[in-house]
Amino acid sequence: MARIDYCDTKSNERTRELLGKNRNANIFRMMAHSPSHLEQYCRLGGAIRHRGELDPVVRELAITRTGILCQAPYEIVAHKRIGKNVGVSDEQNAALENWREATCFSEVQRAALAFADEVVALRRPTDATFNAIAARLTPGALVELQLAVGFYVMTSKFLETFDIDLQPVEQVV
């Protein structure tokens, strides 16, 4: 159960519009307590997920791995579903907990997962990890990968701070 009540969806028109576009998901209903922040969050989240050059499978693997490392079940469930919609295989989703032992990831995917692990766990990725992913991505895609991981660390912490409830299965489809 969430630590505070979700925002009443009868708020301003722009907030209702954003909530509708996002299936009234609990994360957005909580964020709607601050309409201006909700709008900017949606803007940046949309850019990260829909406007870049980073391969969507690589992006979703890194985002889901970030949710795992941040121990954010809501994030994990949501992005395994989103990942599946962009081409992440069931085998890959299942292997994300222990990806280093798995054989289902390409070299660029492995490099992105190592990068996500270190961005979450360390102050910054090691030179070896940074150089491995930088050799496989354009500078633009590398920036997008880092922003995706950072954005979803923040998102995971938001979800866990407010103990946001998972969506009912019928809403997740």
**Per-residue pLDDT, 30:** 96
Phi-psi bin for 87: left (phi > 0), alpha (psi -120 to 50), beta? Answer: left
pTM confidence score: 0.93
Q: Which domains does the chain have, with CATH numbers?
A: 13-50 (no CATH), 56-161 (1.20.1290.10)
**What digits encode the pLDDT tens for the residues 56-93?**
999 999 999 999 999 999 999 999 999 999 999 999 99
Q: Is the pLDDT at 109 greater than 80, yes or no?
A: yes
Non-local (6+) Cβ contacts of 115 within 8 A are 62, 125, 129, 130, 132, 133, 145, 146, 149
* H runs (alpha helix) in the chain: 13-21, 26-31, 35-50, 56-69, 73-86, 90-95, 107-121, 127-134, 139-161, 169-172
Residue 10 confidence (pLDDT) above 90 = no
pLDDT in tens, 17-54: 999 998 899 999 999 999 999 999 999 999 999 999 99
Provide the pLDDT confidence category of residue 169 given band limits of 50, 70 and 90.
Answer: low
111-165 pLDDT, tens per residue?
999 999 999 999 899 999 999 999 999 999 999 999 999 999 999 999 999 999 9
Going from the C-alpha of 120 to that of each of 22, 47, 90, 99, 165, the distances in angstroms are 26, 21, 24, 15, 23
DSSP state of 125: -
